[in-house]
């Protein structure tokens, strides 16, 4: 009986070791961001060993990983995209089968204030990761977080994989470089490298500076009496808004194909910023016109007017479809923020960003139009 039990133990140890050996390993750059957190959760559910890079900042920034309840299951490696050696270290330590390159200075507005830093991080950072892969192990698969911002104002909508690019910001110019360097490494060095051209995707984990979360958080603060107005910029801009947890699945699907390729990921529907605000206030039973004011500080020197994707290729080749559409997305975000503020005011403490974020009107920048 004892021998039988011992054998079982040996078997389970061998089984465990085999499983560890055969588990796929993924490295996510930018694991502390919106997509990084959802992708980590998704890959863990798929049985991956997940590694993620984070920046050493003066204040820890792990609230998203905590909110999706994966903080204790991911392996964290410090790395910065401006430091090639730290990227080499991350890839050496993680020994990944797949690298999901999500890290970037991702806020278009900030790219006008910091165009050089954005070029360095969001553009050249891609080459730094690809160079490490080329030098260390060309069998590592690579996903580049490309963006609908590449299309800019150059096209009729909807935009597809073959539509032309006309960037309208330092951010999108940097992403254009990242898009092409990904294709160049694919063709020149036979690296499995994909561009996911993702249209805007949002969630309760979205950064507070982006317009959708700024609105959902702003509505929640008005509901609980903390604010009286919500200052916004260009209300006419149209975006194709999807739900982030669904979009990270498309990243994984691209990496499971026989050949690397580029895919548009979108919902095929577009709404204006004003429509987002209207719906968000409606979810809270309020009339948006009483609260939204236009503040020219939030109007960009150049903006993208109309983005609406066509995800036909992703549907056909990846079998990917979005399920959460505009109305539901707005509802999810507004309800989540109202819920968080209510809990907070009732003394509950949990990791999230809003209580520590200053009103944007208090952030002083030189007028971008000067």
Chain residues binding ligand F7E by CB under 6 A are 106, 108-109, 147-149, 199-200, 209-212, 214, 232-234, 237, 239, 273, 298, 300, 303-304
Measured distance CA(70)–CA(74) in Å, rounded:
6
- The answer to whether residues 141 and 98 touch, using CB atoms and an 8 Å cutoff, is yes
Nearer to ligand F7E, 23 or 166 (CB): 166
Quick check: helix, strand or coil at residue 317? Answer: helix
Phi, psi dihedral angles at 60 (to 5 degrees)? -60, 145
Q: Which residue is nearest to ligand NAP (CB)?
A: 33
Determine the angle formed by the axes of helices 211-223 and 326-345, rounding to 10 degrees.
Answer: 50
Question: Is 90 among the residues that bind ligand NAP (CB under 6 A)?
Answer: no
195 binds, among ligand NAP, ligand F7E, none (CB under 5 to 8 A by kind): none
Question: Is 322 among the residues that bind ligand NAP (CB under 6 A)?
Answer: no
207 binds, among ligand F7E, ligand NAP, none (CB under 5 to 8 A by kind): ligand NAP
Quick check: helix, strand or coil at residue 131? Answer: helix
Measured distance CA(24)–CA(43) in Å, rounded:
9
Closest CA to 169 of 10, 301, 339: 301
From the list 80-88, 132-140, 214-222, 288-296, the region that binds ligand NAP by CB under 6 A is 80-88
> Binding residues for ligand NAP, how many (CB under 6 A)?
24
32 binds, among ligand NAP, ligand F7E, none (CB under 5 to 8 A by kind): ligand NAP
- The answer to whether residues 47 and 26 touch, using CB atoms and an 8 Å cutoff, is no
From the list 19-27, 34-42, 214-222, 328-336, the region that binds ligand NAP by CB under 6 A is 34-42
DSSP H stretches of helix in the chain: 2-22, 34-45, 63-67, 84-94, 108-113, 115-118, 125-136, 170-189, 211-223, 244-255, 273-283, 312-313, 326-345
**Beta strand spans in 255-328 (E):** 262-265, 271-272, 292-294
* 321 is an active site residue: no
Nearer to ligand F7E, 94 or 271 (CB): 271
- Tell me which residues in 118-177 interact with ligand NAP (CB under 6 A): 121, 145, 147
Selected catalytic residue, list 100, 171, 179, 185: 171
Long-range own/partner contacts, residues 12-21 (CB < 8 A, 24 or more apart)? 20/49
Selected catalytic residue, list 147, 182, 212, 267: 147
* 171 is an active site residue: yes
83 Cβ contact list (under 8 Å, min separation 6): none
239 binds, among ligand F7E, ligand NAP, none (CB under 5 to 8 A by kind): ligand F7E
Please, what is the minimum distance in Å from the beta carbon of residue 188 to ligand F7E? 26
Would you give the DSSP letter of residue 146?
Answer: E
Question: Among 42, 77, 98, 105, which residue sits at the site for ligand NAP (rule: CB under 6 A)?
Answer: 105
Selected catalytic residue, list 67, 98, 149, 202: 149
Please, what is the minimum distance in Å from the beta carbon of residue 233 to ligand F7E? 3
* 22 is an active site residue: no
Please, what is the minimum distance in Å from the beta carbon of residue 249 to ligand NAP? 14
Question: Is 113 among the residues that bind ligand NAP (CB under 6 A)?
Answer: no
Q: Residue 51 CA to chain centroid, in angstroms?
A: 16
Both structure tokens of 17: 């070791």
Binding site for ligand NAP (CB under 6 A): 30, 32-36, 55, 57, 61, 80-82, 102-106, 121, 145, 147, 198, 200-201, 207
Which residues form the catalytic set? 147, 149, 171
């Amino acid at each position: 009986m004892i021998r039988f039990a011992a054998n079982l133990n040996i078997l389970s140890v061998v089984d465990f070791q085999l499983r560890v050996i055969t588990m796929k390993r993924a490295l996510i750059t930018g694991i502390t961001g919106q997509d990084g957190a959802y992708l980590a959760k998704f890959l863990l559910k798929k049985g991956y060993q997940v590694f993620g890079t984070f920046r050493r900042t003066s204040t820890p920034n792990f609230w998203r990983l905590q909110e999706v309840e994966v903080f204790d299951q991911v392996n964290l490696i410090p790395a910065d995209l401006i430091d090639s050696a730290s990227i080499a270290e991350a890839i050496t330590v993680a020994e990944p089968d797949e690298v999901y390159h999500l890290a970037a200075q991702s806020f278009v507005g900030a790219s006008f204030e910091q165009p050089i830093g954005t070029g360095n991080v969001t553009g050249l950072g891609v080459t730094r990761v690809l160079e490490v892969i080329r030098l260390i192990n060309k069998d590592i698969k690579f996903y580049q977080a490309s963006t609908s911002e590449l299309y800019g104002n150059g096209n009729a909508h909807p935009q597809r994989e073959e539509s032309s690019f006309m960037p309208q910001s330092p951010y999108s110019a940097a992403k254009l470089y990242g898009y092409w360097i990904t294709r160049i490494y694919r063709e020149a060095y036979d690296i499995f490298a994909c561009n996911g051209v993702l249209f805007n995707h949002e969630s309760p984990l979205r950064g507070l500076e982006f317009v959708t979360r700024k609105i959902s958080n702003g509505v929640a603060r008005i509901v609980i009496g903390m604010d009286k107005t919500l200052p916004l910029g260009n209300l006419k801009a149209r975006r194709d808004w999807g739900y982030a947890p669904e979009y990270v699945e498309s990243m994984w699907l691209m990496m499971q194909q026989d050949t690397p390729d580029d895919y548009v990921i979108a919902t095929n529907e577009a709404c204006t910023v004003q429509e987002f605000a209207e719906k968000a206030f409606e979810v809270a039973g309020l009339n948006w016109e009483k609260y939204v004011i236009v503040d020219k500080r939030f109007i960009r020197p150049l903006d993208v007017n109309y983005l609406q994707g066509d995800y036909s290729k992703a549907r056909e080749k990846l079998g990917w479809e979005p399920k959460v559409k505009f109305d539901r997305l707005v509802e999810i975000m507004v309800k989540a923020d109202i819920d968080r503020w209510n809990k907070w005011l009732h003394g509950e403490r949990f990791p999230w960003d809003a209580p520590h974020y200053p009103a944007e009107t208090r952030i002083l920048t030189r007028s971008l139009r000067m």
